[in-house]
Amino acid sequence: MTQAETTPRTGKRVLLASPRGYCAGVDRAVQTVEEALKLYGAPIYVRKEIVHNKHVVRTLEAKGAVFVEENAEVPEGATVIFSAHGVAPEVYEQAKARSLKAIDATCPLVTKVHQEAKRFAAEDYDILLIGHEGHEEVVGTAGEAPAHIQLVDGPDGVDKVTVRDPNKVVWLSQTTLSVDETLETVARLKSRLPLLQSPPSDDICYATSNRQHVVKEIAPDCDVVIVVGSRNSSNSVRLVEVALDAGARAGHLVDFAHEIDDAWLTGAGTVGVTSGASVPDELVQDVLAHLAGRGFTDVEEITTADERLTFSLPQELKRDMKAAAARA
C-alpha cells in the first residue's frame, strides 16, 4: 500500500510528488551560466537552451546570457557554453575553428552515454540508440559514432532496424525516456535480436526514473495530475504520459500556474502535482498557491526517494574561478 492510499479522501487535497524538479545535471548547468556571467561578464553565449525550461531561459537572458542555435552565431573569440544535453564532437571542432572559449555544461550522465557509444563503436558494434528523433541529446550522442549508431524511436521503430552482425549489437538510450516504454522497445528488439547486449549501466538517469516512480505512486489517487514543465522538455512530457498510464483521470503540462484551466479542477477531489527535472521549485510553489486559492489547501507530500547527488562545475570554469580568486 502506498502512502497516498493510506490518506482518507476528504475534501480537496493535493498530492505533491517528491522527488520533483531540478536534478543534479540541471542544477550544474544553470550554475555554470550564472558563474560564467559573474566571472567573465555579459554577454555569455549559450548554444541551445541550457536546459529545456522557458522560465530558466528567460531568467538567464535577463542576466546577460544570449541563447543561440549554432556556434556560427557567436562572435569569434567569445565565450560559449554548451547545454546540459551534450553535443557531437564536430561542435567542439567548430568552436575551436572560431577561437571560441567553450565551456561544456553537458550533464555527466549524458557524457557517460557518449563514452559508451565511443567504446562500442571502437569495438565495431552496431549501436541501437533508443530515443526521440531530433532531440538535442540524441543528436549529440549519435554524433559520436554516426557510422555505427541507428536511432530507434520507440517500440514502433523496431521493425526498421537492420544490423550487420546480430551477434554484435548493443542498445543504448536517451537519458530522459519513459522507463516502461523503453523496456517495451528493448523486449521487441530482443525478440528480433536475441543476442542484443544491454548498456553496462542504466542510461535512463536516476532523476528521470525517480520522478516517474513517484508519479506512478500518486496517479491512481488523482483526478488530475498537473506537471510543471515545458513542452520541449522530454522528461516533463513523459511525466504526463506516465501519470495517465498509471491511472490518473487527467494529466496536463503547464509552464506557469496561470495556464491552469479552472475547468480541469471542476469536480476534482485530489490533484497531483509534480515537475520535470529542469523546473525550479518556485514554479511549483506558484501552482500550489494557485490551487490553494481554489480550495486545495490540504497538501500532502509523497516521497519515494531521497536524492543527494550533486555534480561539480565544469573543470574549465573552475580553473578560471580559482585563478580569479587568487588574483583578488
Whether residue 271 contacts residue 91, with contact meaning beta carbons closer than 8 Å, is answered with no
37 counts as binding ligand SF4 under rule CB under 6 A: no
Q: For residues 30 and 273, which CB has a smaller minimum distance to ligand SF4 in the complex?
A: 30
Using left for φ > 0, alpha for ψ between -120 and 50, and beta otherwise, residue 270 falls in beta
**Buried/exposed code over 144-154 (b: 16+ C-beta within 10 A; e: otherwise):** bbeebbebbbb
The region of 204-212, 260-268, 282-290, 300-308 touching ligand SF4 under the rule CB under 6 A is 204-212
Answer for which of 94, 173, 175, 236 binds ligand SF4 (CB under 6 A) is 175
237 counts as binding ligand SF4 under rule CB under 6 A: no
Whether residue 84 contacts residue 26, with contact meaning beta carbons closer than 8 Å, is answered with yes
Which amino acid makes up residue 188? R
- Choose the catalytic residue: 35, 49, 136, 137: 137
46 counts as binding ligand SF4 under rule CB under 6 A: no
Give me the DSSP letters along 126-172: EEEEES-TT-HHHHHHHTT-TTTEEEE-SGGGGGG---S-TTSEEEE
* Grid cell locating 212: 516517474
Q: Is 70 a catalytic residue?
A: no
Q: For residues 175 and 270, which CB has a smaller minimum distance to ligand SF4 in the complex?
A: 175
140 counts as binding ligand SF4 under rule CB under 6 A: no
* Grid cell locating 163: 544490423
207 counts as binding ligand SF4 under rule CB under 6 A: yes
Whether residue 22 contacts residue 228, with contact meaning beta carbons closer than 8 Å, is answered with no
Closest separation in Å from C-beta 198 to ligand SF4:
18
Q: Which residue is nearest to ligand SF4 (CB)?
A: 25
Answer for which of 141, 208, 233, 274 binds ligand SF4 (CB under 6 A) is 208
> What sign results for the dihedral spanned by CA atoms 307, 274, 258, 175?
positive
Q: For residues 197 and 209, which CB has a smaller minimum distance to ligand SF4 in the complex?
A: 209
List residues binding ligand SF4 (CB under 6 A): 23-26, 84, 107, 109-110, 175-176, 205, 207-208, 235, 277
| Catalytically annotated residues | 137
